[in-house]
Every structure is written in structure tokens, then in C-alpha cells.
Chains A and B, each alone.
Chain A
Amino acid sequence: MMRVRANAAIGATLIGGLAIVAIVAALWTPYDPLGIDLKARLHSPSSAHWLGTDEFGRDVLSRVMAGASASALVAASAVATATFLGAAIGLICGYLRGAIDRLVMTVNDAFLAFPAILLALAALVVFGAGRGAIILALSLAYTPSTARIVRGAALSVREREFVEASRLMGNSEVYTMFRHVLPNCLAPLIVLATSMFGWALLAESALSFLGLGAPPPAPTWGNMLAASRPYMQSAPWLEIAPGLSIALTLLGANLIGDALRDRLDPRMRPV
């Protein structure tokens, strides 16, 4: 239990830190993240530029901060959309069952046969590259797994007595579904959404790194890593800051996800 609490505390600190940096960066950064200063090209970290400057003399700290806003926004939007769509599909299928459930779940399972990153790439073929396209692509990529998890939970919750009682009291199916079944499917959904935030952030960075995200000079962490490659030897600080930011955010999401799962899954508790 001690470890679960420590994990949760470290995870919450990391994700809380990201949230604060993302909010601060939306209002203020030390320098303009897009401001070019060719006289200050590739300066190493100093008191004026804590994390150094890049190949256009832009302040790396300001760009990492702005990147936190951009990346967190993309990941959070994708997770929110996938959670909403997946929960709606899973709830309807799991609660109503029958032909709709069979048909939708066959198609859903076929989409689960595509690895998420391939689904996202396929969606980007249709939507084109860009930030909005990445949000849509990642939402579509994560919806099938969310639908699967919520359907499983809804299937077991619908057999419980309080659901039967709600029906017998004359409540409509829609009311029963949203008022009684959905709240009882939230635990696995929250665990999944926490992990998905980490995956979405990683996928966004990877797709930006490949050049399929927000076009440069947008300061996303993936863009910064991709742009740092030619200067790997002369300016290694360019890749350390955005890479470390991605890693710490992922660590935070993983730790919170683990702590939640350990708390909700009695099998993982020590004897």
C-alpha cells in the first residue's frame, strides 16, 4: 500500500507539474517561443537562456513550456474524444446486447486488429497532417479499446439488482443506462483514460517527430526532437529537454495508472 501511495504521489506531482507548466505557458513564457534571434544561435544553457537556444536562436525553455501546452492539449483532447465515443458505444452495446451489439462489436474488434499507431497513420492519410488531424486520428485509434472495456463492464453491471430495481421502478432504459450503469463502469474507464493520456502524448510526439503533426515552427516536443537531429553533436541540449519532458510526463501517467489499477484490482495487493 505504501508503494501505491508513493507511486500515486510521484505520478500526481509529475502530471500536476505538467498541468501548471501548460497553463503558465499559455499566458507567459520567458521569451517568445517563435522569436528568432540569429545572433544567439545554438547557445549552450546560461543564466539568460536556462536550457540554451536552438538553431534559430529561439529560447529552448520557452519552446519546451509552449510544447507542454501544445502536446498536453492534443493528448487530452484525443483521450476525451476517445473516452466519450468509446463509452457511448460500449455502454449501448453492453447494455442493450442483441444484434446491434454483435454487429458493432464485430466491426470494433476488426479495428482492434490494427495497432493503434497504424490506425492513426491510416486516419492521417484521410485527414492530412496537422494538429486537428492528429487529435481526430488518435481519437479514432483509441476508441475501439475504450468501447471494448466499457462494454465488458456494462455487461456485468446490467445483471446487478439495482439495475433491475431501476427498471421495475419504471425508469426508462436510457435513464437507467446513464444514471445507474455508466457510473459503475467508470473505474476501469478512468484507469484506461490515464494510461491513454500517456500513450496519446507519446504517439503525438512520435507523429510530430515524423513530420505528420503540427507543421514547424510550432513548438511541439516531437518537432523539437526532429529539428535537433542535425545538431546532435554540437548542441545536445536541444534533444535532452524535450525528450526528458516526454519521458517525465509518460512516467507520471504510468505511475498514476498503476496506482489506480493496484487500488482497484484486489489481486495485485500483497498477501
Chain B
Amino acid sequence: MIAFALRRTAQIIPTLFIVCVAVFALIRLIPGDPAQAMLGETATSEQIAAMRHTLGLDLPMPTQFLRWLGDALSGDLGQSIVNKLPVLPLVLDRAAVSGLIVLLAVSIAAAIALPLGLIAAWRQNSLIDFGVVAGAAFLMSIPSFWLGLMLLLLFGLRLGWVPVLGYVPFSQSFSGAVLSIVLPVATLAAVECGSLLRMARASAIEVLRLEYITHARAKGVPEWRVLVRHVFPNSFGPTWTLIGLILGHLLGGIAVLETVFTLPGLGRLLVDSIFARDYPVIQGCLLFSATVYVVVNLVVDLCYPLFDPRITIN
């Protein structure tokens, strides 16, 4: 188990290194002078020189990279050009908002999709199965931002059950906070439920055809026990991987939903920074999101042996 964990953890080092190189290279790839691009046409040459110095653009490239990497490893991702705040606390602050919504939404989606997918696979080609497959295809085809707008129109504007604008932190008001995130969480859970349902159903269908299931049934094991004890644990692997991919992917990827619900999340910070050409914040958001994606997938892989002992043997 420890050897497996060490080997898997070591695998992410080259990936993270290339992620760092890509994020570092990003602002060097921008056509023209990034300092000029950030300051605009009216900037004087002294201001541009000062900005180049602040960004470290006046140093040789390898020195720039090593300095940037060293700073990044020690948690210093620079300072925002727009509001002069340090980047890391800004990114962490926003990631907490996105993270909460994503975690809640994916948990709810998994709680609905796993049992439903199992039942659909168990009754493959029945009316229930057809309903589940059609429902999953329907959910997967709705753009999250459109569903969000529709829910906002119905529950926010027409029925007035939830506030239409703004985010309330939990530290300010618990009920206010719940009301401000209920629609984004519901939207995201509905959309992600589609892909989880499909995966849960497909992997359960594969397991249901294996010989040990026939054996268990022949032994007289009750059907519910066959499903819960034998099918579910062995078909959970692919869905678990998908949950990891979704979790890692969504953290920086729900900018559109955050825009619909005016939430101060990480995705929105990234998009706002792209508009403001706030390159240190853009780099910070990308580096953070990619790192979380890699680390979440590592954690997901490390959890595999908990429900599938064959992993450690292989």
C-alpha cells in the first residue's frame, strides 16, 4: 500500500513541473510587451520599465523562472496589479466559495446518481432504465448557465423564494448564506447528475454480467444483497474516478455559473482578471486550479484500495 502511494505520488511531480512551466510561459507568450499591455497605451516608458522590473521581465529567462518557481513554492504568487493585494490569499478566499458549492453539488449528485444508476442497470432495457437513460441525456444536454438562469427566473423572480443577486458569507448569516447558494448548488448538482448516472449505470451493467454475480444468485443470496454487497462496490471505481475529475475540473471551471448567480468564486476571479489583464492573478488562478485538479485526482487514486483491495496487489 505504501509503495503504491509513493509511486502514485511521485508521478505527479513531472506533471506539476510542466504545469508550472506552462503557467510561467503564459505571460511571456502574449504578443507584444505584457507590461505595456497591462498599463495601456498611455503609459510612459518609465512606468513600463518599472512594471517590467516588478514582474521580473528584465531578467534572463531561466533566472526569471527559477525566481518565480521559488516564490510560488514558498506561497508567494505575487501581487495583484489591480488592487495590490497578495495573490494567494485572494485566490484561496475565492476558492473557498467555489469549493463549497462544488463539494455540496457533487455530493448531492452522487447521492442521487449512484443508487439510480444501479437500479437502471439491474433492470436494463425496462421502462425505469429508459427513463434514467433519457433523464441523464436530458440533464447532460442542458447548459448549466441556462438552467441557472431558468431557476433564477422561476424561484428568484417569479416566486421570490431566494435572493436574485449577491452572495452572503456563512460568517455573516447562516440562513442568508444557505439561500444564496441553494440555486447554484441545485443547478450544478442537476447537470453533473447526468454524467454520473451514465457512468454508474454503465459500470454496474458490466459487473452484473460477471460470473460471481450468477454464482451469488445461484447460492440464493437475496437480490438486494447481490446489488448492495456484490455489484455496487465492484462497479464504484469508474464512477469514483469521474467524481474526482468533476471535483477537480469544476473548481476553476464554474465561472459561468458564478456569473449567473453573481458569486465571488475562483472562476469569476479568473475571468475578471483576464478582462483587467491582471497577469499575476491569472497565473495564480491557473496554477491553483491545475494543482488542485492534479492533487484531487491523486487523492482519488489513493482512495481506490479502500474499496478495491486488488489495486494494492497490482
Listed in ascending order, the chain A residues whose CB lies under 8 Å from chain B are 3, 106-107, 109-111, 113-115, 117-118, 121-122, 124-126, 198, 202, 205-206, 209-212, 225, 228-229, 232-233, 236, 239, 243, 246-248, 250-251, 254-255, 258, 267-268, 270-271
Alpha-carbon distance A126/B286, docked complex (angstroms): 13
Alpha-carbon distance A270/B124, docked complex (angstroms): 8
Q: Are B202 and A268 in contact (CB under 8 A)?
A: yes
B299 within 8 A of A: no
Q: Are B289 and A118 in contact (CB under 8 A)?
A: yes
Q: Determine which of A210, A228, A247, A270 lies in contact with B143 in the assembled complex, contact meaning CB atoms within 8 Å.
A: A247
Not counting A110-B22, A211-B275, a sample of 15 additional A-B residue pairs whose C-beta atoms are within 8 angstroms of each other reads A106-B14, A106-B18, A114-B19, A114-B22, A115-B249, A126-B29, A206-B255, A209-B145, A232-B152, A232-B153, A243-B143, A243-B146, A243-B149, A247-B143, A250-B141
Alpha-carbon distance A270/B133, docked complex (angstroms): 14
B 124-144 contacts with A by CB, 8 A: 124-125, 130, 133, 137-138, 140-143
Give every chain A residue within 8 A of B256 (Cβ-Cβ).
206, 209-210
| A254 and B205 contact, Cβ closer than 8 Å, known pairs A114-B293, A205-B143, A233-B157 | no
Complex: chain A residue closest to B37, CB-CB:
A128
Q: Determine which of B30, B143, B157, B271 lies in contact with A232 in the assembled complex, contact meaning CB atoms within 8 Å.
A: B157
B110 within 8 A of A: no
Q: Are B149 and A115 in contact (CB under 8 A)?
A: no
Which 7 pairs show the lowest CB-CB distances between chains A and B?
A110-B18, A243-B146, A251-B141, A115-B249, A250-B141, A206-B256, A117-B253
Alpha-carbon distance A107/B290, docked complex (angstroms): 14
Complex: chain A residue closest to B289, CB-CB:
A118
Alpha-carbon distance A228/B153, docked complex (angstroms): 12
Complex: chain A residue closest to B248, CB-CB:
A115
B223 within 8 A of A: no
B96 within 8 A of A: no
A-B contact pairs, 30 of them (CB 8 A): A3-B130, A107-B18, A111-B22, A113-B15, A114-B293, A115-B248, A117-B252, A117-B253, A118-B252, A121-B255, A121-B286, A122-B23, A122-B282, A125-B27, A125-B282, A126-B26, A126-B29, A126-B31, A198-B141, A205-B145, A206-B143, A210-B256, A212-B271, A232-B149, A232-B157, A239-B149, A246-B146, A250-B142, A251-B141, A271-B209
Q: Are A225 and B30 in contact (CB under 8 A)?
A: no
| A254 and B141 contact, Cβ closer than 8 Å, known pairs A110-B19, A113-B19, A210-B255 | yes
Nearest CB of A to B116, in Å = 18
Complex: chain A residue closest to B11, CB-CB:
A109
Complex: chain A residue closest to B205, CB-CB:
A268
Complex: chain A residue closest to B137, CB-CB:
A254
Nearest CB of B to A270, in Å = 6
Nearest CB of B to A106, in Å = 6
| A267 and B124 contact, Cβ closer than 8 Å, known pairs A115-B249, A122-B286, A210-B271 | no
Listed in ascending order, the chain B residues whose CB lies under 8 Å from chain A are 14-15, 17-19, 22-23, 26-27, 29-31, 124-125, 130, 133, 137-138, 140-143, 145-146, 149-150, 152-153, 157-158, 202, 205-206, 209, 248-249, 252-253, 255-256, 259-260, 270-271, 274-275, 279, 282, 286, 289-290, 293-294
Give every chain B residue within 8 A of A228 (Cβ-Cβ).
149
Q: Are A250 and B124 in contact (CB under 8 A)?
A: no
Q: Are A247 and B141 in contact (CB under 8 A)?
A: yes
Complex: chain A residue closest to B275, CB-CB:
A211
Q: Are A202 and B143 in contact (CB under 8 A)?
A: yes
Alpha-carbon distance A241/B23, docked complex (angstroms): 38
Q: Are A209 and B259 in contact (CB under 8 A)?
A: yes
Complex: chain B residue closest to A249, CB-CB:
B141
Nearest CB of B to A55, in Å = 16
Complex: chain B residue closest to A2, CB-CB:
B125
Alpha-carbon distance A116/B225, docked complex (angstroms): 40
Give every chain A residue within 8 A of B158 (Cβ-Cβ).
233
| A233 and B15 contact, Cβ closer than 8 Å, known pairs A206-B143, A210-B259, A247-B143 | no
Alpha-carbon distance A247/B27, docked complex (angstroms): 35
Nearest CB of A to B171, in Å = 29
Nearest CB of A to B90, in Å = 17
Nearest CB of A to B243, in Å = 15
Q: Determine which of B146, B259, B286 lies in contact with A247 in the assembled complex, contact meaning CB atoms within 8 Å.
A: B146
Alpha-carbon distance A198/B137, docked complex (angstroms): 12
Nearest CB of A to B160, in Å = 11
Q: Are A124 and B274 in contact (CB under 8 A)?
A: yes
Alpha-carbon distance A251/B141, docked complex (angstroms): 5
Alpha-carbon distance A259/B248, docked complex (angstroms): 29
Q: Determine which of A206, A225, A258, A270 lies in contact with B125 in the assembled complex, contact meaning CB atoms within 8 Å.
A: A270
Give every chain B residue within 8 A of A267 (Cβ-Cβ).
205-206
Give every chain A residue within 8 A of B293 (Cβ-Cβ).
113-115
Alpha-carbon distance A205/B259, docked complex (angstroms): 14
Complex: chain A residue closest to B29, CB-CB:
A126
Q: Are B271 and A121 in contact (CB under 8 A)?
A: yes
Nearest CB of A to B211, in Å = 13
Q: Determine which of B15, B149, B252 lies in contact with A110 in the assembled complex, contact meaning CB atoms within 8 Å.
A: B15
Instruction: Among A107, A115, A239, find the residue whose CB has the most chain B CB atoms closer than 10 A.
Output: A115
Q: Are A113 and B143 in contact (CB under 8 A)?
A: no
Alpha-carbon distance A110/B294, docked complex (angstroms): 9
Give every chain B residue within 8 A of A247 (Cβ-Cβ).
141-143, 146
